Amino acid sequence: MISIEELTGFIVEAKSKTYVGDGARLPASRPGSHDIGHQRGVWRYLDSYFGGSDFAGQETVWHHDEPRWAMNYFGRIIRPDLVDARRAGAIIKAALQTMYREKNHFLGGMEYQHAYGCYIDSSRGETDHFSGRETIFVDGEEAYELDYRGGLIIP
């Protein structure tokens, strides 16, 4: 049986080394998908998504080739006149890098000021079952949103 602490630690490690860490792209697992992943020992992580400025995806963690955890997400630029995908990505990566380093966790309770805007991530729940929302505000206006939900996969 895996512990929640061990799982959470691997999720933070994997997220740090993939999207936030500009990890190497993997071959598409589905037509049109963008895939990035991380593996350490018996642990494997895959983030597979579609789109660009508006996008949908799923992150999955396997332990001994058994799916154990997943998170689905959908994000979009609401105000392209205030923020584009490149700037939103820079804000998100800086904020998440700080969250992973300072909190050693991947769920909400975070506000981060960046030169391009203010990032806010709020969530409820823990690694085993959670939902949340990240937003970017530029000049006091909501310019980007992403909703996420996930938790343990129990066979």
Minimal CA–CA distance to 117: which of 133, 95, 148, 97? 95
Count how many domains the chain has.
Answer: 1
- Domain with 109 in it: 4-152
Count of helix runs (H) and strand runs (E) in the chain: 2, 9
Per residue in 141-154, pLDDT (tens digit) is: 999 999 999 999 99
Per residue in 64-123, pLDDT (tens digit) is: 999 999 999 999 999 999 999 999 999 999 999 999 999 889 998 899 999 999 999 999
pTM for the structure as a whole: 0.94
